[in-house]
Structure 1
Amino acid sequence: MSDTLHRDERIPDSLAGQRFDQAAAELFSDFSRERLKAWIQQGMLTLDGTQARPKDKVRGGERLALHAVLEEDTRWQPQAMDLDVLFEDDEVLVLNKPAGLVVHPAAGNPDGTLLNALLHHCPALAAIPRAGIVHRLDKDTTGLMVVAKTLKAQTSLVEQLQARSVSREYDAIVTGVMTAGGTVDAPIGRHPKDRKRQAVTASGKPAITHYRVTERFRGHTHVRCRLETGRTHQIRVHLAHRRFPLLGDRIYGGRLKLPAGASEELKELLRSFPRQALHARRLAFVHPASHEPVEWRAELPDDLLTLLDYLRDDHRMMQ
């Protein structure tokens, strides 16, 4: 099975000086770098109408034209796994991702991922880049994701994400008591010393997170976050930058803080909570076929509901 893909992009001045393949990876982020490099070498991805080398530097302002035939990707094997599908039609699939599920295969997770499950659920996704995955959630983050089932839907969703018109809202439980909500407008990029982490850095990409307080406890706060951008680990990095790291975050959470006088049950729950307390609760976008606004919500999973119950009980008992 194959399909023909046509995309055009203009290289922004901010990418001036980068290699052609690096700039292409920024603008066509729904494709792997290996596939983009192959298209460049085959002349299917051109620079101002001419074939260029992957290592050639771009000036900014050039036109990238992608005209490629998509073949089925046979690198990843379909695997039967339970998926909590909330909605599905011919164009899109919306699911509620559980904690512990990796979205895309990588060196440490070659299988058992959402992508493998999607290929089993809908074999035609083998012909769509990344099996239709257009945005990700971290392994231990729960909640809503949308998957494109056609090239048309994928192009539409990627364009909406780039235009920041997809609405994504998250529930988070953070360490510390916030006095008010706010906005974090701080660029995010690779940590200068630890390549596995992200950090607020002047050389990073623009990143904006809005947050508001939902409920306060003695040593924690339940907040609701809305993303304008979708950088890797964005909410985790931004809230840690504000010194309100996500509860249970092993990477950005810092030292565990227990409320003074807390019960042994609450202390044990806080010590053993196995993941960052983050859940994608609401997702809204324009449907690629009907062009009508659509929206889904996913209730908090049981582990976060239990955590909130314990924090409320602790708050009431200490008043």
Structure 2
Amino acid sequence: MSEQKPEQVQLEARVSDELVGKRLDQAIAQLFPDYSRSRLQGWIKDGCVSVDGDQKRPRDKLLGGELIRIDAELERIEHHQAQDIPLDIIYEDDDILVLNKPAGLVVHPAAGHADGTLLNALLHHSPEIAQVPRAGIVHRLDMETTGLMVVAKTIQAQTELVSQLQERSMGREYEAVVQGVMTGGGVVDEQMGRHSRNRQKMAVVAHGGKPAVTHYRLLEKFRAHTHIRLKLETGRTHQIRVHMAHINYPLVGDPLYGGRSRLPKGVSEGLIRVLRDFRRQALHAKKLELWHPTTGELMSWEIDLPADMQQLLEALRRDLRRGEEVWD
């Protein structure tokens, strides 16, 4: 990427009567709603916010009538390289981009994945997105999870989408194939936190975790597996994988939480081969629903299951028919 200077942000507003007595960080969140609370708080701490020319702390109360000025910079993502990686874009306008993420694509650079990620692809597809923190990525899918993701193309869109995630007004539904035969749908409402021994894993914890709620319902039952639909209220790391394993229905192919495969009696060699070759968690972000950050329109997208999950389901259906023929 060619080097570009950070964008200068210069804003000012006067404290109105309804903000009298408010903390500085609370007031500027209302005065400058295009920027996230965390970004505004960072600017206060960095000395980029003045109140009648003076520096104030985030918790300092306002009297009313003060002039608040912000003089800050928006850093660009210079240390990540734009890479020409194909994207399956479902929808795009000036504010947002919705894509169908394939299995194997890491969302954000991290240890072991310095490039070749979705972020690198976004920087190539929309160079201006370098101005947006994390290249507009507001939520993630695990590397081997497929399906729908939304990306913000402007800071204003990012702030609004993050707000929808926090307020749980963004709808996200998934489909998965789990081990075991469920008898009905339900909800898992269990706090989650880092696993006490394996720091690469998350876990249901009794104390000190973050709230996590997963709803699930049955779509199709097989001899030793179930195809389910899931809806998230929260978006914790590995939430579906951890919650399903917690209730003893781990996802097929899950290398972290799956445990040993459960096979029905008299299983065919064909199904054994399909299950053995399915080397990722059988999880797909099927549906995404959100309020457009600029127009306010309610928008919704739904995407077919990827080929490998369709092949898995077909193998399970063949095994079910074979089992029924044995008993006839």
TM range (shorter): 0.7 to 0.9
Could you tell me whether the CA contact under 8 Å between 1:209 and 1:238 is conserved in 2? yes
Q: How large is the RMSD of aligned CA atoms in angstroms?
A: 2.6
CA distance in 2, matches of 1:187, 1:41: 32
Over 3 Å counting, the alpha-carbon distance change for 1:153 and 1:217 in structure 2 is same
1:84, 1:93 → 2: CA distance?
A: 10
Identity %: 55
Cα deviation, residue 233, structure 1:
0.4
Q: Deviations over 1:113-166 (max 9, x none)?
A: 000000000000111000000000000000000000011100100000000000
Question: Could you say if the C-alpha distance between residues 41 and 265 of structure 1 is closer, same or farther in structure 2, counting changes exceeding 3 Å?
Answer: same
Q: Does 1:236 align with 2:241?
A: yes
Alignment match, 2:311: 306
Number of residue pairs matched by the alignment: 287
Contact (CA 8 Å) 1:8, 1:66: kept in 2 or not? no
Query: What are the Cα deviations for residues 254-287 of structure 1, in whole angstroms up to 9, with x where unaligned?
Result: 1122222111111011122110000000000000
Question: How far does residue 80 in structure 1 lie from its aligned partner after superposition?
Answer: 0.2
Q: Is contact 1:174–1:245 with CA below 8 Å preserved after alignment? A: yes
Which residue in the other structure is 2:215 paired with? Answer: 210
In structure 2, the residue matched to 1:165 is 169
Gaps of 5+ in 1: 11-26, 53-60
Matched, 1:50 2:56: yes
Question: Is it true that 1:140 corresponds to 2:144 in the alignment?
Answer: yes
Residue 89 in structure 1 maps to residue 79 in structure 2? no
Is 2:301 the counterpart of 1:290? no
1:105 corresponding residue in structure 2: 109
The residue correspondences of 1:71-86 to structure 2 (distance < 5 A) are 71-86=75-90
The alpha carbon displacement at 1:69 in A equals 2.4
Q: Which runs of 5+ in 2 are unaligned?
A: 1-5, 12-23, 28-36, 62-67
1:248 to 235, 248, 253: 253
Determine if contact 1:125/1:132 at 8 Å carries over to the other structure.
Answer: yes
Counterparts of 1:139 and 1:172 in 2: how far apart (Å)? 15
Partner of 2:126: 122
Residue 44 of structure 1: CA displacement? 4.2
The list of structure 1 runs, each at least 4 consecutive aligned residues, that deviate by more than 2 angstroms after superposition, is 3-10, 39-46, 49-52, 65-69
The answer to whether the 8 Å contact 1:45/1:51 transfers is no
For normalisation by structure 1, the TM-score amounts to: 0.84
Greater Rg by CA = 2
Question: Residue 289 of structure 2: SS of its match in structure 1?
Answer: strand
Query: Deviation of residue 104 (structure 1)?
Result: 0.1
Structure-2 change in CA distance of 1:114 and 1:45 (3 Å) = farther
**Residues 1:315 and 2:289 are matched in the alignment:** no
Equivalent-residue separation in structure 2 for 1:144 and 1:114 (angstroms):
13
In the alignment, what sits opposite 2:269?
264
Residues 265-313 of structure 1 show CA distances to partners (whole Å, capped at 9, x for unaligned) of 1101112211000000000000011101000111000000000000001
